[in-house]
Structures are given as structure tokens and as C-alpha cells.
Structure 1
Amino acid sequence: MAKDEVLARVSADLQRGHYHPALQRLASLTAAFPADLEVRAARAALNRQVGNVVEAGRWGFLTEDATEAEIAAFERAFPSVWARLYALKLRADPTDSLGPAGRSRLARLTERAEREGPAPVSWTDAGPRPEAPSSWRDGVPCLLAFIAGVIALGLAGIGLLTVIRWLV
């Protein structure tokens, strides 16, 4: 079904006072068109109408009409910056299509995500992800931790076998 048809059905649902089907339709549209600001704005407006401030902030985060209270509620509900970035359900960097307020919010969020780590934000087909290590040297600490873990497990196994032999 085309986006315009679904939006028309959402409008018809709302005229009849059927909020739940309208929310479901908008959720499906958001999944199909994750970067579409019109769909996000409609979903934010509907959540605002039913009193769900957190979801209004979530879906209005990239739009120009989200209020500070909605954004603050969204940030409280998703305290981790990476969780907030994932909650936006983006598949690609939408910066070019955003207005000034949405662009500013997304820039602040990605900057904070990069500062908090574990790595800079990389936009993939699956959405924002921490960037992979750039060279083999970046993976050395993980390799050393893995080797230490294997040695510790081996020693624990030897210790367990020794205790079992003493008991038998």
C-alpha cells in the first residue's frame, strides 16, 4: 500500500477516534520509510495527542516541531546515548534532509555517542553503529583479554580437577 493511502487511512481512523489502529499504521510506515520526516511528524503528533510524551519526543526528535519537554522525556526514557541513537530506527544518515533543529539535535547526539564510545559513529545499511577498529593494532587489547580469559579458564579447570582428585 502506498504511503499516501496509509496516511489517508490514519486520518480516517483518527476521525473515528480509533487511535490504536492509527498508531499501528504509522509504526508500519515508519518501518518502511525510516527517514521520512512527514511520517515521523505524523507519528509524533499522534503520540502527542494521546499523551505519550516519550514517543512524541522519539519520533519528533528529527522534526522541527518537537518540544523541549518531549525531547527531555525521550532522553530520560533512553539514558544511554547509543540506546537513543538506536531508538530513532534510522538506516542511514538523514542529516541532508533535516531542518535546522533536527540537524542540530542529531549532530549533538552523534557527537555525544562518539565521546562516550566505544568508537565513532559509522552509518551502515543497518543504521548507526560503532565504527570497526581501523587497524590490527586497535584489536590487540581485545586479543590479549581473550588470551588471558582462556588461560584463566584453563587454570580454573586444572584447579577443579585437582580438588575432585583430592576428594575421591
Structure 2
Amino acid sequence: MTAGSSSVATGCRPQPADARPGPSGRGSAREPQQLHGRGAPRARLAARRHLRSLVASYPADLTARRRPAAAYRLYGESAEAGRWAYRDADRDPGETAAFEARHPDPLDRMTAVARRDPEESAPTETARARLAGLRETASVQAGRPIHWHHVRDRVEHTDEDASDGELFCAGLALVGLALLGFAALRIVTFVRW
């Protein structure tokens, strides 16, 4: 394996925060210099997507979560940096406060933290304690036990959810009536012809 291909082969594995991409530029987050200037919004979006897929591939690895936190910190998005560094032992209290201000509801915070398995499986004691505290806060607010697997389902439904479903059904009924009307018009036209 050559030096140029090693960065491609290790592109999915989390690397230390000070790791640099190989000569091909692939295999880790883009350099900050490449995310400025013409085409920067698209490049930032691609870099963020890459970092999120890295976290999705290694959900228990806190090193993988530090990378998006560093990227958001670089661009001054403290709420997102606080989201990704939420489980870290050395997280910035200001970023955590910004994250909690953006997501005042503990259930929303649980969704944003993107945890699916119990906090006991977290890699560090600090992460376990923070996740347990968040889950307990959400349980107290909901008035019932909340578990991490409830987060995706969001057991709690609001009136807005019901009205969205009713609006969708009404739209489908309207489209169905329009199609039925066009079919009737076509049949009448065919018979007259």
C-alpha cells in the first residue's frame, strides 16, 4: 500500500484531532483553508456531512464526535459545537449553555445528542453521567420514564402532529378528486368523439 492510498483506506476510521489528510486530500475533514472563498458553502456542507457520517459509523467513539465539534467551533456555531461535545469531559460550558438554550426541551436535547442505546454503554464515566442526567431530566419533565430508544419514536405526540396528518389526508383527497374529474372529462370527450 502506498502513502497516497493509505489515507483513502483509513478514511472511515476516526483519527486523532491533529491528523492531516493524505496527499489526495481524502480521508479526513477538509482543511479550514479549503472551506473559504468561492464554493465554500457547498464545501462546508460536504465536510459536515462527512463528519456526521463518521459519527454515525462510530457512534460510541468520542474522538469521532470531537471532529464535528471542532468544525462547528471553527465557524462560530457554539450551539452545534456544544451538541457534539456534550459527552466530552472537557466540554466548553458556554457551548453547552448555547446548545441547551437552542434545545430547551430535554427530549429535543436527547434527539439532538443522537443516542439510541442505554447510557451504560457509553465509553467514559463522564459520558455515562451526562447522558443519565439528560435522560432523568427528560423523564421528570414527561412525568414517565423515558429511555433512549423512545427518542426516535417520540412517543409524545402533539396537536400539531395530528393536524399535519389531517392536512396531508385532505390534500390527498383533493388530488384524488381532481384526478377523478379529469378521468370523467376524458371519458365524456371520448364518447362524444
TM-score in terms of structure 2 length: 0.57
TM-score in terms of structure 1 length: 0.64
Cross-structure match for 1:110: 135
- 1:30 and 2:55 correspond: yes
Cross-structure match for 1:89: 114
Q: CA deviation at 1:16?
A: 4.4
Contact preservation (8 Å) 2:116, 2:148 = yes
Contact preservation (8 Å) 2:29, 2:50 = no
Classify the secondary structure of the residue corresponding to 2:144: coil
Paired residue for 2:102, among 68, 74, 77?
77
Flag structure 2 segments of 5+ consecutive residues without an equivalent.
1-7, 15-20, 36-42, 156-193
Contact preservation (8 Å) 1:47, 1:53 = yes
Q: Give the Cα separation in 1 of the matches to 2:149 and 2:121.
A: 16
Contact preservation (8 Å) 1:10, 1:26 = no
Q: CA deviation at 1:95?
A: 3.5
* Number of residue pairs matched by the alignment: 130
Contact preservation (8 Å) 1:57, 1:70 = yes
Cross-structure match for 2:11: 5
Q: CA deviation at 1:77?
A: 0.3
Sequence identity percentage: 33
Cross-structure match for 1:58: 83
Cross-structure match for 1:141: none
User: Which amino acid is the alignment partner of residue 93 of structure 1?
Assistant: P
Q: Give the Cα separation in 1 of the matches to 2:154 and 2:9.
A: 28
Q: How does 1:122-137 map to 2 (within 5 A)?
A: 122-124=147-149
Q: Give the Cα separation in 2 of the matches to 1:122 and 1:3.
A: 37
Q: Give the Cα separation in 2 of the matches to 1:93 and 1:35.
A: 11
Name the one with the larger helix percent: 1
Q: Cα 1:15–1:74, aligned 2, differ >3 Å: closer, same or farther?
A: closer
Structure of higher RCO (CA pairs closer than 8 Å, 6+ residues apart): 1
Flag structure 1 segments of 5+ consecutive residues without an equivalent.
131-168
Deviations 1:7-45 (A, max 9, x none): 543646216433613222101222333332111111111
Deviations 1:54-106 (A, max 9, x none): 01000100112211001100000001001101111112124343434333322
User: Which amino acid is the alignment partner of residue 13 of structure 1?
Assistant: R
Contact preservation (8 Å) 2:135, 2:148 = no
Q: Give the Cα separation in 1 of the matches to 2:106 and 2:78.
A: 18
